[in-house]
Amino acid sequence: MSSLKALLWDVDGTLADTERDGHRVAFNQAFSKAGLEWHWDVALYGKLLKVTGGKERIRYYLDQFNPDWPRPEDLEGFIAGLHKQKSQIYVDLMAQGDIPLRPGVMRLIREAAASGIRLAIVTTTTPANVDALLDQYFGAEGKVIFEVIAAGDVVPNKKPAPDIYQWALEQLDLPATACVALEDSHNGLRSALGAGVKTVLITLNEYTAHEDFSGASLVVDQLGEPNTPCHLIKGEVAQLQCVDVDLLKQLHGVF
Catalytic positions = 10, 12
Ranges of beta strands (E only) in the chain are 6-9, 118-122, 146-150, 179-183, 199-203, 218-220, 232-234
Query: In this structure, how many other beta carbons lie within 10 angstroms of the beta carbon of residue 182?
Result: 23
Is 123 a binder of ligand XBP (CB under 6 A)?
A: yes
Q: Are 91 and 126 in contact (CB under 8 A)?
A: no
Q: How far is the CB of 164 from Mg ion (least distance, A)?
A: 11
Which range in 38-46, 59-67, 99-107, 185-193 contacts ligand XBP by CB under 6 A? 185-193
Count the residues in the chain.
Answer: 255
What is the per-residue binding string for ligand XBP in 13-32, x denoting contact by CB under 6 A?
A: x-----x---x---------
Q: How far is the CB of 209 from ligand XBP (least distance, A)?
A: 15
Residue type, 62: L
Of 153 and 246, the one with the shorter C-beta distance to ligand XBP is 153
Q: How far is the CB of 96 from ligand XBP (least distance, A)?
A: 17
How many Å is the Cα radius of gyration of the chain? 18
DSSP code for 102:
P
Exactly one of 28, 129, 217, 222 binds ligand XBP (CB under 6 A); that residue is 129
Is 163 a binder of ligand XBP (CB under 6 A)?
A: no
Name the residue among 169, 123, 93 with its Cα closest to residue 11: 123
163 touches, from ligand XBP, Mg ion, none (C-beta below 5 to 8 Å by class)? none
Of 124 and 217, the one with the shorter C-beta distance to ligand XBP is 124
DSSP code for 100:
P
Binding interface with Mg ion (CB under 5 A): 10, 12-13, 184-185, 188
